[in-house]
Amino acid sequence: MSSRPQRTKTAKRRTGATRKDAERRRLAAESRARQDEQPPLPVAWCDGGVRGGRAAAAFVLCSAAGRVIGEHACVVNTDSVEEAECAAVAAALERAAELRLEELEVRLDSQVVVGWLTGAPRPGWSRRALRPVLAQLPRIGRVSFRWVPREANAHVDRLVAEALAG
């Protein structure tokens, strides 16, 4: 037998670095979570709907802490669901401006309208639907738009259904 020291086959690690895979995964997850951390913003949940020749728009405005600070549902004069959704967004932005909110995240269950508001190509007739939204945007500092599944927007969807039924 030789008295040579056995060579290690692993790469040299920094001092204090972990050697266990589970620990590396945990540290990586914590690092990703820190990168994604953002202060909570006030949120406007918006929805619109058309049934039987009637259209309605609704929004629920929540503070950064999650408390409801505004809520509204009404019948609107339009034939398309996209225009009803835009009417809901415009009403939410108007209320947010009245409350002097500087930042707002608008959540909708309409991928089409979120696409229009975030720069996706849109048909010419969408200008009429977007006009009230675009008029309200300068009144608030920063507004972001996010699509959410319909189930996440259930409370506002119920408000739209009630407005359409009444």
pLDDT digits (tens, 9 = 90+) for 98-125: 999 999 999 999 999 999 888 877 777 7
Cα separation of 163 and 165, whole Å?
A: 5
Nearest to 56 by CA among 80, 73, 79, 72: 73
Residues 62, 152: Cα–Cα separation, whole Å: 14
Supply the pLDDT for residue 24. Answer: 74
Which residues neighbour 108 within 8 Å (Cβ) at sequence distance 6 or greater?
A: 46, 47, 85, 88, 89, 114, 145, 146, 147, 148, 153
Residue 18 pLDDT exceeds 70: no
Query: How do residues 50-66 score in pLDDT, each as one tens digit?
Result: 998 899 999 999 999 88
For 118, other C-beta atoms within 10 Å of its C-beta total: 11
pLDDT tens digits for range 123-163: 777 788 889 998 999 999 899 999 999 999 999 999 999 99
pLDDT digits (tens, 9 = 90+) for 2-13: 666 666 555 555
Sequence ranges of the domains in the chain? 43-165
Contact 63/87 with Cβ under 8 angstroms?
no
Residue 60 backbone phi and psi in degrees, to 5: -130, 125
Separation between Cα atoms, residue 16 and residue 99, nearest integer Å: 50
Q: Which of 38-47, 71-80, 139-148, 156-165 has the lowest mean pLDDT?
A: 38-47
Give me the mean pLDDT over the 71-100 stretch. Answer: 94
**Given this model, what pLDDT does residue 5 score?**
65
Which CATH number describes the domain made up of 43-165?
Answer: 3.30.420.10
pTM score: 0.75
